[in-house]
Structure 1
Amino acid sequence: MTDNLPPKTPQPDPAPRGEVTIETVTHHGMGRLADGTLVPRVLPGEVVTLSGEGAKIVTPSPERVSPPCRHFKACGGCAMQHASDGFVADWKAGIVRAALRAQGIEGEIARVLTSPPDSRRRARLAGRRTKKGALVGFHARASDTVVEVPGCRLILPALTALIPALERIAVLAASRKGEAGLTVTDSTAGPDLHIDTDKPLTEELRITLPEIAREAGLSRLVWGDEIVAELEPPVQQMGRARVVPPPGAFLQATAHGEAALRDTVREAVGDAARIVDLFAGCGTFTLPLAETAEVHAVEGEAAMLAALDRGWRGVPGLKRVTTEARDLFRRPLLADELGRFDAAVIDPPRAGAQAQIAELAASQIGVIAMVSCNPASFARDAKTLLNQGYEMGPITVVDQFRWSPHVELATRFTRS
């Protein structure tokens, strides 16, 4: 359920080599030689020569393409821009298959749905002060170096256009030795900015920051835990409901990806009349499902549930929605509590939800729609359900983090 990018990839071996052939591409997007050496930005079957400056392609793969972004070699945000869309889709499906086979499971991949370029509606940029002002961008590959990314092909142009304003803010929020995290999220009222910094919020900043927010067209500006300016509520559309998430709340990375996951979940639960939504967040699935079913939304963060509830109350005609603030890692809904529902939706963080999955496996609930942002934890949890008599349907792979190693998926489990 998180929108964090995967861990930094291992560094390649810089030792000079003669001509060598790339055997495979790892799940981190690194080419691997027969001896295990890792090489970035290469494809299987390519013949390359290696030096301290990287790989020189001698025989390119037919799947090699020109990277669409000029920052590809320097920026660490993308790993696979040098590969065709078809190759990347097959590679991501392969990551899911490999995770399942590690648990002894053979699964069917029904489809791979990839978000288009320039569609990320949420991004965390790094801001660092310089002698002349500030630098805002993404980190270089496996490095703390900040790379400017004007013209980035990942994020929405409306967010890229904010970089000059973010540079002004970085001068105020970052130190010369440290950096500030600048998370920008698109909303119907304009970008929503959350600033992660150790610097205190002074009275001078309380005056300066709202001025910058107005000039930049921000809907909201949050410094640490404090809302400094809210010119318009940063509304997110969830089904027919309009939700104002609390600062820092989780959202799916792209509108396309959210729609793909939502449609897969809707298809999975079918005509269920009573649904429990576990790790419900602000209502990504709860509120659309409430158009046809009663939904009980369970989430650890009370502020997100409050936003969900306000969104539900603002739309006439939705079915009944109830909420429950509960730590599902320490206090999962028990099997007998799950018995009153026809279907469950579960979208846990990257670590998965072993305790809650164990209770679902022990319950008699007929249908489970599972969403995951980590194929490894998904496969582990799927094995628990399969061992207790559930059957797994075809898997939809959703690629919201285009050109990165990150993979999301959704599928349906039913009682035999």
Structure 2
Amino acid sequence: MTELVIDRLGHRGDGVVLQPDGKSLFVPYALAGETVDVDLQGGTARLNRVVVPSPDRIEAACRHFGTCGGCMLQHVAPAPYGDFKRRLVIDALADRGLTPEVGETRLVPAQSRRRATFAGIMAGRHPFVGFNERASHRLVSLDECPVMKPDILAALPALTALTGLIAPRKGGLDLTVTLTTGGLDVSVAGIAARDVDRLRLPFIELAARFDLARLSAGGEAIVERRAATINIDGIMVTLPPGGFLQASEEAEAIMGELVTAAVPAKAKRVADLYSGVGTFALRLARHAEVLALEGEAGAVAALDRAARSMTGRHRISAERRDLARRPLIDKELEKIDAIVFDPPRAGAAEQSQWLSRSKVPTIVAVSCNPATLARDLRTLVDGGYRIDTVTPVDQFLWSSHVEVVAALRR
């Protein structure tokens, strides 16, 4: 056993000790300034106990904290926790030579996550569903979860029965549950397409027994007892099976507020790139005509159906387009008054190059990855844009991830 003093909190939420050789030693669940007792195992450390706690330390909200790999920061008080998320953004931007003012982190409440993905495996003859332990393939059986909406946790019996029905002897399943206005929407990944037909009747029986709104596999809705709809700014949108959705309705509302506030009222034509099912497009259509571009066919179809049903808003043109391979380019950009883009974690490198050479007056960048966001913002700044505002949004509660909304002007 060894006593150490923690120098700082690292980007992944671990305590960091700077060693005499200049290397960093990471201590999970330790906070800056704490004296801790650890077991050293090669280049890693396991926390035994906190000898002198930080004033920032609080009691964790969940009995599984420290075992379940879903949360890293339940032991941090709210104010320093928000500062940690803000620092993630500041440091990522600084790595690219960018030093804009970064606003305070917009926090979401506990039990706000409306979407979660569980792992399902067979432990011998018994189905088992849970989250992975930290840095392990072992699963944690959950009795509680302060991150998710209670209805999501209540789906565990259905997921366990589903795992027992279809899980392979080796490997496992990814079981994604979304709480919709119609009820629980469950999507299964890890099942072979050839098995879907033979499982159709058991799926129907299971969905009825557990009152699931929809049960999908391989991107196909096998059972749809009620529409799997969500409300986006007053417009009902039917989700594509297994499609992307912002994890928290509260975080989505904050991001929607930031994005729409950043787009000038005088903008008549706005492009929403990587538009998904319309998180921003449906809001932007209150004041402008919207060109919504998205690579996933199911999301494009969902947004198109929703747009056709809305009244009192401007037109949304929803088109399928792989922006990594075919970005919006110079002639097309000449017609646009403002751009919003919200790419996957890999960012929008190619599209940012074209945007940097454009004359679009306003660009709003949304990202769940500060590192790739910083890269793309660097490209835009080098092209003549200035960063107006940057706001972290804590969509991923008690994790080391953060959402960011940045507005730029030319």
Scaled to the shorter chain, the TM-score interval is over 0.9
What is residue 173 of structure 2 aligned with on the other side? Answer: 180
Matches within 5 A, 1:360-379: 360-379=355-374
CA offsets per residue over residues 126-168 of structure 1, 9 Å max, x none? 0111245211110000111011112111111001011011100
Amino acid corresponding to residue 47 of structure 1 in structure 2: T
Amino acid corresponding to residue 15 of structure 2 in structure 1: G
Q: Give 1:204 deviation, angstroms.
A: 5.2
What is residue 320 of structure 2 aligned with on the other side? Answer: 325
What is residue 121 of structure 2 aligned with on the other side? Answer: 128
Residue 308 in structure 1 maps to residue 292 in structure 2 = no
For 2:388 and 2:365, the matched residues in 1 are separated by 11
For 1:308 and 1:225, the matched residues in 2 are separated by 17
Residue 26 in structure 1 maps to residue 20 in structure 2 = no
Matches within 5 A, 1:21-100: 21-35=5-19, 36-51=24-39, 54-100=47-93
What is residue 95 of structure 2 aligned with on the other side? Answer: 102
Contact map agreement 2:259 2:364 (CA 8 A) in 1? yes
Matches within 5 A, 1:218-297: 218-271=212-265, 272-297=267-292
For 1:303 and 1:34, the matched residues in 2 are separated by 48
Decide which moves more: 206-215 or 152-161.
206-215
TM superposition score normalised by structure 1:
0.93
CA offsets per residue over residues 201-223 of structure 1, 9 Å max, x none? 36552112112112222111002
Give the secondary structure class of the aligned counterpart of 2:104: strand
Contact map agreement 1:127 1:182 (CA 8 A) in 2? yes
Q: Give 1:88 deviation, angstroms.
A: 1.2
Contact map agreement 1:373 1:408 (CA 8 A) in 2? yes
CA offsets per residue over residues 288-323 of structure 1, 9 Å max, x none? 111221000011122211110100111122211112
For 2:355 and 2:164, the matched residues in 1 are separated by 49
Tell me the number of residue pairs that the alignment of Structure 1 and Structure 2 aligns: 399
For 2:389 and 2:197, the matched residues in 1 are separated by 56
TM superposition score normalised by structure 2:
0.95
Amino acid corresponding to residue 265 of structure 1 in structure 2: V
Residue 398 in structure 1 maps to residue 382 in structure 2 = no
Residue 298 in structure 1 maps to residue 286 in structure 2 = no
For 1:385 and 1:30, the matched residues in 2 are separated by 32
Matches within 5 A, 1:132-151: 133-151=126-144
- In the TM superposition, structure 1's runs of 4+ consecutive aligned residues that sit over 3 Å from their partners are none
Contact map agreement 1:241 1:315 (CA 8 A) in 2? yes
Residue 208 in structure 1 maps to residue 199 in structure 2 = no
Contact map agreement 1:298 1:324 (CA 8 A) in 2? yes
CA offsets per residue over residues 323-370 of structure 1, 9 Å max, x none? 221111011110221111110101011111111011111010000111
Contact map agreement 1:39 1:55 (CA 8 A) in 2? no
Residue 334 in structure 1 maps to residue 333 in structure 2 = no
CA offsets per residue over residues 76-130 of structure 1, 9 Å max, x none? 0000111111111101100111011111110212221111111111100001112
What is residue 11 of structure 1 aligned with on the other side? Answer: none
For 1:70 and 1:176, the matched residues in 2 are separated by 30
Contact map agreement 2:389 2:406 (CA 8 A) in 1? yes
**1:306–1:204 Cα change, 3 Å:** closer
